[in-house]
Amino acid sequence: MLPKISLKDKYKLPDKLKVLIIKSKSGGLTAKLVDYPGCITHAQSMGELIENLNDAVLTYFEVPRNEAVMADFVYAPTQPTLRLKIKPKEKPNIFVPVFPTYSHA
């Protein structure tokens, strides 16, 4: 039996994502991936932004949706609360891959 290759290794996904999160005057949030030019997403809430950010990264690295879902692979922020206003010289937020476990009662 061949060893199972992780989604991260198969598609050469990064260990960390540096993400600039900017709150717009209209209330929406924009996330720009520092190391991946043109990889930008937008949302109305932090939860939606994390979901959209994962979709943007998987699209950028051409990971098929069904493989990502089967692997339970997502990027999540390392900090429990994120600063929404980031000045240009501040460090970006860091997102790291996590493997959620689900408990069904």
Cα–Cα nearest to 69, from 102, 36, 95, 104? 102
pLDDT at 102: 42
Specify the pLDDT at position 46.
87
Tens digits of pLDDT across the chain (105 residues): 666 788 889 999 998 898 888 888 888 999 999 899 999 999 999 889 999 999 999 999 999 988 888 887 888 887 644 555 545 555 677 777 765 444 444
Q: What is the pLDDT of residue 48?
A: 92
pLDDT score of 2: 60
| pLDDT score for 104 | 40
Q: Which domains does the chain have, with CATH numbers?
A: 15-98 (3.30.160)
- Structural contact between residues 72 and 52, judged by C-beta atoms closer than 8 angstroms: no
What sign has the CA pseudo-torsion 17, 23, 28, 32?
negative
- Written as six digits, the tokens of 5 are 């290759």
74 - beta bridge partners?
98
> Which pTM does this prediction carry?
0.74
User: For the sheet containing 74-77, what is the strand order?
Assistant: 40-43, 29-33, 17-23, 93-98, 74-77
